[in-house]
A and B are shown apart, each in its own frame.
Chain A
Amino acid sequence: MGTKDSVQVEVIVTVSGNRRADTKDISERLQSRGLTVSSVLEHTGMIVGHSSEAALESLKQESGVAAVEAAGTVQVAPPDSKVQ
Chain B
Amino acid sequence: MTNGTSTAVMNETTGKYIITYRQNEKSSTLKLLKDNAGIAAKNVVSSNNFESAAVSTADIPSGGGLVLEKLGMMVVDMPGEAAGTLSALESSASSAILAIEPEGVCYPINQTPALSLDYLRGFRDAAADLYDRASANGSVAMGLAGASFEGTETYTWGLEATGARTSPFSGKGIKVAVLDTGFDLQHPDFVGRSITHQSFVQGQTAQDGHGHGTHCVGTACGPRQPASGRGYGVAHGALIYVGKVLPDQGSGSDSGILAGIEWAITNGCHVISMSLGAGVPSTKTYYEAAGQRALDAGSLIVAAAGNNAARNLGNFGFVSRPANSRSFMAVAALDSRLGIANFSARDTARSAGTAVDIAGPGVNVYSSYPMPTRNHSISGTSMATPHVAGIAALWAEAANVRGSALWQRLITSARTLNLPVNDTGRGLVMAPAADTVIA
A binds B: yes
Binding site for B on A (CB under 8 A): 10, 12, 14, 17, 20, 38-39, 41-46, 48, 66-67, 69, 71-79, 81-84
Q: Are A73 and B252 in contact (CB under 8 A)?
A: yes
How far, in Å, is B272 (CB) from chain A's closest CB?
Answer: 11
Interface size for B (C-beta < 8 A) is 44
Partner of B258, one of A20, A44, A73: A44
Q: Which residues of the other chain, A, contact B276 by a CB distance below 8 angstroms?
A: 74-76
How distant is the Cα of A9 from the Cα of B378 in the complex, in angstroms?
Answer: 36
Cα(A41)–Cα(B290), bound, Å: 10
CB-contact partner of A10 in B212, B253, B379, under 8 A: B253
**CB <8 Å contact, B285 and A39:** no
Bound-state Cα–Cα, A12 to B259, Å: 11
Q: What 0/1 pattern do residues 371 to 406 of B give for CB contact below 8 A with A?
A: 000000011101100000000000000000000000
B294 in contact (CB, < 8 A): yes
Known: A43-B265, A74-B254, A76-B246. A84 touches B289 (CB 8 A): no
Residue B382 contacts which of A20, A38, A76, A79 (CB distance < 8 angstroms)?
A76
CB <8 Å contact, A71 and B254: yes
Cβ-neighbour of B259 out of A17, A39, A74, A76 (below 8 A):
A39
The interface centre, meaning the residue of B212, B286, B321 with most chain A CB atoms within 10 A of its CB, is B286
B residues within 8 Å of A by Cβ? 180-181, 210-212, 215, 246, 249-255, 257-259, 261-262, 265-266, 275-280, 284-286, 289-290, 293-294, 297, 307, 321-322, 343, 378-380, 382-383
Contact B252 A41 (CB under 8 A): no
Report the separation of the CA atoms of residues A17 and B289 in the bound assembly, to the nearest whole angstrom.
8
The A-B contact count (CB < 8 A) is: 116
Query: 16 A-B residue contacts at CB 8 Å?
Result: A12-B255, A41-B259, A46-B258, A46-B262, A67-B286, A69-B284, A72-B254, A74-B277, A74-B279, A74-B321, A75-B250, A75-B252, A76-B276, A81-B378, A82-B378, A84-B212
Residues of B within 8 A of A42 (CB): 262
Q: Which residue of B lies closest to A41 (CB)?
A: B262
Identify A83's interface contact among B275, B280, B322, B378, CB under 8 A: B378
Distance between A69 CB and nearest chain B CB, rounded to angstroms = 5
The answer to whether B285 and A75 touch across the interface, beta carbons within 8 angstroms, is no
Q: Which residues of A contact B293 (CB under 8 A)?
A: 17, 20, 43-45
Q: For the complex, give the distance between the alpha carbons of A76 and B261 in Å.
A: 18
CB nearest neighbor in B for A15? B289
CA distance A81 to B289 in the complex (A): 32
Query: In chain A, what residue has the closest Cβ to B380?
Result: A84
Take A72-B284, A74-B246, A76-B246 as given contacts and tell me if A84 and B253 are in contact as well, using a CB distance cutoff of 8 Å: no
A17 CA / B181 CA spacing, docked (Å): 31
Q: In the bound complex, do residue B212 and residue A76 qualify as a contact, i.e. CB atoms below 8 Å apart?
A: yes
> Does A12 lie within 8 Å of B380, measured CB to CB?
no
- Chain B residue nearest to A48 in the complex (CB): B255
Report the separation of the CA atoms of residues A76 and B378 in the bound assembly, to the nearest whole angstrom. Answer: 13
Question: A44 touching B265 by the CB < 8 A rule?
Answer: yes
Chain A residues near B294 (CB-CB < 8 A): 44
The reply to whether B285 and A14 contact each other, CB–CB distance below 8 Å, is yes
Can you list the 5 inter-chain pairs with the closest CB atoms, starting with the nearest? A67-B285, A75-B251, A41-B262, A73-B251, A84-B380
Query: A74: which of B257, B266, B343, B379 is its contact (CB, 8 Å)?
Result: B257
Question: Is the beta-carbon distance between A41 and B258 smaller than 8 angstroms?
Answer: yes
Contacting residue for A48 out of B246, B258, B266, CB 8 A: B258
Residues of A within 8 A of B249 (CB): 78
